[in-house]
Structure 1
Amino acid sequence: MTERSYFAPRGGLPNPKTRAHDRSVFTNAYAVIPRGVMSDIVTSFLPGWIGCRAWILARPLSGFAETFAQYIVEMAPGGMSDTPEPDPQAQGALFVTRGRMHLVVDTDTHVLTPGSFAYLPPGTDWKILNIHDDKSNFVWIRKRYEPAPGYDAPDLVIAHDDDVPPTPMHGDADVWSTTRFIDPNDLRHDMHVNIVTFLPGGNIPFAETHVMEHGLYVLQGRGVYYLNEDWVEVEEGDFMWLRAFCPQACYASGSEPFRYLLYKDVNRHPSLTLP
């Protein structure tokens, strides 16, 4: 098996003698936030979080992507939160990219390491802390849960990238596959967070155009992504934010696997009322 890695931003400030970074893009169909602009000056310190800072990559935005918010959270040694989620209707997904942390759900403690995934149902009583000597990082995705008649809210999910067999997407798991942490047939869920993997030469061979919004955080490798009418080069640590119906395709362009963490909203009727 090819060794997996999970990119985590380190912050800092760019060299003042360098020119402005030229890969940042914001259009009416998509945005690209390169890793090079995730500096100290764009972090937020959040109420209820101690010894932590966050890069907020996406939030509901009228006329763009409206279903979710996505962060990268950095926890210093001793960092913690016992009141992490301010919205009682929100569900969450965590994916660890660096370090170790303890996730406490009710009275149970789960040790999370790079590659760990946690799905947190709405109303979950959870806490998170870093009791180790090094910094830790995780991606945090938040979405207000949309109940469906006849279905209860989902259960807690704790999983790891190493333990979930990838699903082949085009007849060959060695080229294009998806690691699904949540059963796609479970209609209790109204969002999915997966890892998509392409080996060198792998590609999406058509321009997907669909109702789902996306947040894509590149965990490893390099690729070229088709977004609306543009081909955009991306690498580990970059973030792509796609509104509904933005045409998209890609191919792996480096010498190692191209892997990204993918958010999408699923399994619900579109609202007939404009937000």
Structure 2
Amino acid sequence: MYRKEEQPSPAPENFELPFEGKLSPSNRWVIMAELIPWDDFEEEYAKLFSAEKGAPAKPFRMALGILIIKEKLGTSDRETIEQIRENPYLQYFIGLNCYQQEPPVEASMLVHFRKRIDVDLVNKINKEIVKKEKEKLDKEIKKKDLPQEKGKKLKNRGKLILDATCAPADIKYPTDLGILNQARIETERIIDNLYKALRGKLRKKPRISRHIARKEYLKVAKKGKVSYQERRKAIEKQLKYVKNNLGHIEDLNQAGASLKNLSKDSKSSRNYQKSL
């Protein structure tokens, strides 16, 4: 169930603090709160809930605000809630009327917020922000500029850059462990190709633990937070697999296999990578 908050959001100077003082209007969270058209999209958000059944849902401003804070600070769900609990500016940003020491929501609620506020809704909000800022900028330009002469066009005076997105971006960065994993995969491909040329001469294919090695790599790579000891241990294991593979490559080369025809663009290479 969703109930719209009847009480309007307070101005920064009216936000109640546990100590004497007022919020600064120049703070980045106060400025961003003024940019985002919270009320324009609250009705669309309310349609996701039943009008009568269920417990009242958290306000749209709180849900969207928490997601924006999480992405801006780059913190985990739990750390995001802790930051909000400790920072009055963040509490004002999500629509609270006064500072409170208790967290506004449990960290697990962010999972539900992400499901309800999808990328399409975020894009609509971004477009509306840009539209309003452009209109505001145009009005300011008209006030400052003198009447234009006929046939004289107004020149562009710069670029407007806004950042109000809260859609997570999955970006992969190169790491020592990741590079070793790629090296292991490549050496396994080389062993496969070299063995094909010697299949009739050798009794059996060199033993490579590709499935175990991949499993051990994913066990660490898929973790959100990895300790120094875990990462170091995983790197040592991948180094061991790469070293063993290099030994097999040397043995196959001495047995008569040629390294000349190896290429990343070969058909066998592409098929191997697809199988992974």
TM (norm. structure 1) is: 0.22
TM-score, with structure 2 as normaliser = 0.22
Greater strand percent: which structure? 1
Specify which structure has the higher proportion of helix.
2
| Structure number with bigger Rg | 2
